[in-house]
Structure 1
Amino acid sequence: MSEHSFDFVVIGGGSAGYAAARTAHSAGLKVAVVDGAEELGGLCILRGCMPSKTLIESANRQLTIRHAEEFGLKASSQGVNVRTIRDRKRRLIADFAGYRQGQLEDGRFVLYRGFARFTDAKTLEVVPRDGSASFQVTARSFCIATGSEVFAPDVPGLAKAGFWTSDDVLDADALPKKIAVLGGGAIALEMAHYLEAMGCTITMIQRNTQFLTGLDRECSDVILKAFRARGMTVHLGTHLERIGKADGGKEIEFTADGHKHQIHVDEVLLAMGRKPATRGLGLEAAGVSLHKGKVVVNDRMQTTQPHIFAAGDVCSPLDVVHIAIQQAEIGARNAAALIHGKPVEETMDYRMELFGVFSHPQVACVGASEGKLKSEGVPYLTANYPFDDHGKSMVMGETAGFVKMLADAKTGEILGACVVGPEATELIHEVVVAMSFRATVRQFMAIPHYHPTLSEIWTYPAEEIADQL
């Protein structure tokens, strides 16, 4: 078996893997990337962020047409062409993926198209995708960036009955009429928004008693009301009993609020989250530990084997691409420091943890939630303001939701914020910038806001908190 030696080897060529590789190369390291996926690009480009948002843009325009009469316009949807929507997505994603493939193949690092497995803490066995002979790769440091895969719960009959995942929705040229969406996180909400807009009849079945577990319940309440107003059936606090094939479709049995339910749908969309992709990596041979399926890392992105780093969904507390990239860059710079005999000092800071959901209405949050501040015993002040009393959102006809700000009860420093409503994923960045400079609510109020804009809604909770200081 032939052997190849490097300073730094990255397992996985997605957003985190590429970021780790380019950062390590810029630090002067000899770098290789091992990626065994059928297509280069990673989850975000191929099956996550970008394709889903492409489809959602079509859904958003369909909702605009539905409400045309409110604005004095005579317009109605003449139906949807799912194949055209799919083909537009394919064109855009091919462009994005081609650009990433070019970055991986531009000569800065060696790219191996194959599957990697640790045989010890310094050695990988690589099995090429093309079936050629396996070979060894050794390195002074590694970064595990293999991402995540769909989580399938152990529900009786589910595997045999079969199901769709978001991958199937994103590449479908036709859609089933009646769909049950299992889950209540970001993927479930975004897919339900798209599918309902395309004319599907949606039943949502969520295990938790709210959508978006971990966020303050008031965020879920707005989405719940909006989805039900669109005609979706929503069951919260459920327990799945059985899923089976029936009459050319699927039959689902579940309990909710102490009552048994049985529904028949054409297809089941499994959207109950993802799990770290660690199978076959030989982590035990490398001395790398897992906790609840995720690779254990410290704040320097080191695993339990100090020269092996990790980044992205495989280890992250929040599976979003900007955090994955930041983790990868920090891990790569720390690996370079380790190799050069310098202290490994750069750390991840999750103070401004940022999260967004492109449903309708949208949801976005940054920093600490009210629940987290309470659990940590941090003294805080909070205020919110509704979109149904805000001029610009009223003009837009987008009045569902609110903004909420949290600040330190002594200093007034902004500690967190959330927004549910129009353009939430854009609006949140005003608070992100303020928090990056550790701004107080009084400093935030001093920032000019043009009128009338959605953005100026943030000044109301800031002013209310400032008055309490």
Structure 2
Amino acid sequence: MKHYDAIVIGSGQAGSPLCKELAKAGKHTAIIEKRFVGGTCINDGCTPTKTMIASAKAAHQVAHSAPLGVHIAGSHINMKEIKQRKDELVVSWRDSSRNSMDETENLDLIFGTATFTGHKTLSVKLNDGKELELTADLIFINAGTTPMIPEIEGLDEVGYFTSTTLLDVEEVPDHLLVIGGNYVALEFAQMFHRFGSKISLLERGPRIMAREDEDVSEELNEILVNEGLKIYTNSQAIKFERQGEFIKATITVNGTEQEITCSHILVATGRKPLTATLAPEVSGIQLDEKGYIQVNEKLETNVKGVYALGDINGGPAFTHIAYNDYIIVYRNLFEGANRSTAGRPLPYCMFTDPQLGRIGLSEKQALEQGYNIKVAKLPMKQVARATETGQTDGFMKAVVDADTRQILGAAILAEQGGEVMSVIQLAMMGGLTYDVLRDGVFAHPTYSESLNNLFMTLEE
């Protein structure tokens, strides 16, 4: 049995910086990682997907450059080169993170799978087959989540991709059936369509992106359909059968059964917490009904000295939220701060093309919370920068409090939507009213300059 001052489980975007800062603060620290340093973001999420999305966008621009007077013939997709570029970038970030840990004094990097065996006690099955028994005064859980696979007849037999395994293909799937209609599903569907796959996408509900306002969902749906994707709403897969090189999918659409023949399947129906093997309940740590670790606003579990950060605590599943979890925990423990998750902003961006940048309340949420609101909306066809670049799909939308003129939220479905959203977020963080942006001086011609015009619509 070896005792540490602190143990961090998982080297994602909370665990990686936290373990180093704990060690630098004089805590004898261990970080336990079962696979690769860097967590989902570096290895299976943000870094590889956005790298490949860049390749897909380049392919799309080449194929649609004629309206700009640029005529290109003979281009083709080389998936092996796309994968190689992605792999090189992933390994570079992963190695950089690991080297930083290796160079940190007072920090032990342990590769293995951790399981709670008692109060603040862990058994670690090392990747080389050996086992360790560890205890610590402080334990920080950053073990993350994994793709959730629905029970569908024949799915295991015909085989399927997840958002992790699809990153490693070296040939473009002929016809990819995507199960799911939210952010991961949509990014992958558009990406592989641009690589050359035929795409059929199944969404159980009446529309894609059910958490967004209807106009946002409908606009992106129209953009993707016009690009050539086939989107089925009110649909689900009920059975799969292998037929030689192809797969027969039996689906229902609006209650009516029909068949689709595809070559490959991507399951993108959400994720589940990695708590089954970890068994935190053995240490008395409370879980919710879905298996997520329950925490308070300071990210501490019901067991004093045990914290859960990132996706595994059931909060918003974004890299930047996990990193902010680290900021909250570290500054509270070692700098005497009093930070919490209460009231923190929740920006996020979906990297379809155009991007969807989101901050604050949606129109629907603002109405549900009883605000007296005004809604500003500007089609990208009326944005100078968009017309100049030929990127006119989408719109900008902001929700403001009609009584205080404060900006409550925004949805920017546009080229560089995440960057424009960030400008609005800064205004919200600074308490600026919408008329400050309406009358502000922004460089011309930029996308952010269109915030003048967006908020002018409220005066019409």
Assess same fold via TM > 0.5: yes
Q: For 2:58 and 2:377, how far apart are their aligned partners in 1?
A: 29
Measured after TM superposition, the shift of residue 306 of structure 1 is 2.9
1:170 equivalent in alignment to 2:167: yes
Shift of residue 351 of structure 1? Answer: 4.0
Cα shift readout 1:354-391 (whole Å, capped 9, x = no counterpart): 11111112111011112222222233222111101222
Aligned to 1:306: 304
| Aligned length, in residue pairs | 458
Q: String of CA shifts for 1:90-117, please: whole Å, max 9, x gaps.
A: 1111111110111222234121111111
1:199 equivalent to 2:196? Answer yes
Deviations 1:276-319 (A, max 9, x none): 11121121111112222211111110112232101111114211
- Selected match of 1:437 from 400, 413, 430: 430
State the alpha-carbon separation in 1 of the partners of residues 370 and 27 from structure 2.
44
1:454 corresponds in structure 2 to 447
Calculate percent identity across the aligned residue pairs: 27
Give the partner amino acid of 1:438: G
Letter in 1 for 2:3: S
Partner of 1:119: 117
Do 2:284 and 2:303's aligned partners in 1 also have CA atoms closer than 8 Å? yes
| Deviation (angstroms), 1:414 | 1.3
* Separation (CA, whole Å) in 2 of partners of 1:150 and 1:68: 37
Letter of the 2:302 counterpart:
T
Please give the alpha-carbon distance, in whole angstroms, between the structure 1 residues aligned to 2:182 and 2:75. 31
Trace 1:263-342 onto structure 2 (pairs within 5 A).
263-291=260-288, 292-336=290-334
- Distance of aligned partners of 1:433 and 1:77 in 2 relative to their CA distance in 1, 3 Å threshold: farther
| Partner residue in 2 for 1:397 | 390
Instruction: Give the unaligned 5+ runs of structure 1.
Output: none
- Contact 2:190-2:229 at 8 Å conserved across structures: no
Answer yes or no: is the 8 Å Cα contact 1:141–1:335 preserved in 2.
Answer: no
Q: Greater shift after overlay, 115-124 or 259-268?
A: 115-124
CA shift for structure 1 position 350: 4.5
Moved over 4 A (4+): none
2:338 corresponds in structure 1 to 345
- Are 1:99 and 2:96 an aligned pair? yes
Task: Tell me, in whole angstroms, the C-alpha distance in 2 between the residues paired with 1:286 and 1:255.
Answer: 44
Q: Distance in 2 between matches of 1:129 and 1:213?
A: 40
Pairing 1:463–2:460 present: no
Over the residues paired in the alignment, what is the CA RMSD in angstroms? Answer: 1.8
2:295, 2:301 within 8 Å by CA — same for their partners in 1?
yes
1:231-242 residue pairs with structure 2 within 5 A? 231-242=228-239
TM-superposed CA distance for 1:248, in Å, is 2.0
2: CA distance, partners of 1:379 / 1:230 = 37
Task: Tell me the equivalent position of 1:190.
Answer: 187
1:56 and 2:64 are equivalent in the alignment: no
Q: Is the 8 A contact 1:23 1:333 kept in 2?
A: no
Alignment gaps of 5+ in structure 2: none
Structure 2 CA distance for aligned equivalents of residues 153 and 7 of structure 1: 40
Tell me if structure 2 keeps the 8 A contact 1:352–1:435: no
Match for 2:327: what amino acid?
E
Classify the secondary structure of the residue corresponding to 2:391. Answer: coil
The 1:274–1:76 alpha-carbon spacing in structure 2 relative to 1, beyond 3 Å, is farther
Conserved in 2, the CA contact under 8 Å of 1:113 and 1:129?
yes
Instruction: Answer yes or no: is the 8 Å Cα contact 2:16–2:38 preserved in 1.
Output: no
Q: In 1, distance between residues paired with 2:189 and 2:432?
A: 37
Superposition deviation, residue 454 in structure 1: 1.4
- Aligned partner of 1:248 among 240, 245, 250: 245
Aligned residue for 2:359, secondary structure, equals: strand
* TM-score between the two structures when normalised by the length of structure 2: 0.95
Taking the aligned partners of 2:121 and 2:192, their CA distance within structure 1 comes to 46
1:34 partnered with 2:32: yes
Matched, 1:413 2:406: yes
2:357 aligned with 1:367? no
- C-alpha separation in 1, matches of 2:334 and 2:283: 20
How far 1:27 sits from its partner (Å)? 4.1
Q: Deviations over 1:309-361 (max 9, x none)?
A: 01111114211101001112212344458xxxx7x832124542011111112
Aligned equivalent of 1:85: 82
Distance in 2, Cα, partners of 1:370 & 1:28: 48
- What corresponds to 2:8 in structure 1? 10
Residues 418-465 of structure 1: CA deviation (Å, up to 9, x unaligned): 111211122211112111212111222343112222111222232334
Q: In structure 1, what is the Cα distance between the partners aligned to 2:430 and 2:54?
A: 33
Q: Is the 8 A contact 1:25 1:31 kept in 2?
A: yes
SS where residue 313 of structure 2 aligns? Answer: coil
SS in 2 for 1:15: coil
Is residue 251 of structure 2 the alignment partner of residue 258 of structure 1?
no
> For residues 344 and 307 of structure 2, what CA distance do their matches in structure 1 show?
21
Judge conservation of contact 2:20–2:104 (CA < 8 Å) in 1. no
Instruction: Report the CA distance shift for 1:350/1:274 in structure 2 as closer, same or farther (over 3 A).
Output: farther
**Which residue type is aligned with residue 437 of structure 2?**
F
Structure 1 residue identity aligned to 2:407: I
Q: CA deviation at 1:254?
A: 1.5
Q: In the superposition, relative to structure 1, how do residues 199 and 293 fare at CA in structure 2: closer, same or farther (>3 Å)?
A: same
Deviation digits for residues 120-168 of structure 1, max 9, x if unmatched? 2221112211112x22211111111001101101122212221011222
Q: Secondary structure at the match of 2:312?
A: coil
Aligned residue type for 1:181 = V
Q: Within 1, Cα distance between the matches of 2:309 and 2:439?
A: 38
Q: Secondary structure at the match of 2:5?
A: strand
Per-residue CA shift, 1:172-214, capped at 9, x if unaligned? 1112211101111111111111111111111111112222221
> Residue 77 of structure 1: CA displacement?
4.8
Structure 2: distance between partners of 1:27 and 1:376: 43
CA distance in 1, matches of 2:320, 2:25: 21
The amino acid that maps onto 2:89 is L
- 3-state SS of 1:75 partner: coil
Asked if 1 retains the 8 angstrom alpha-carbon contact of 2:366 and 2:408, the reply is no
| Structure-2 separation of matches of 1:111 and 1:9 | 10
Question: Conserved in 2, the CA contact under 8 Å of 1:183 and 1:207?
Answer: yes
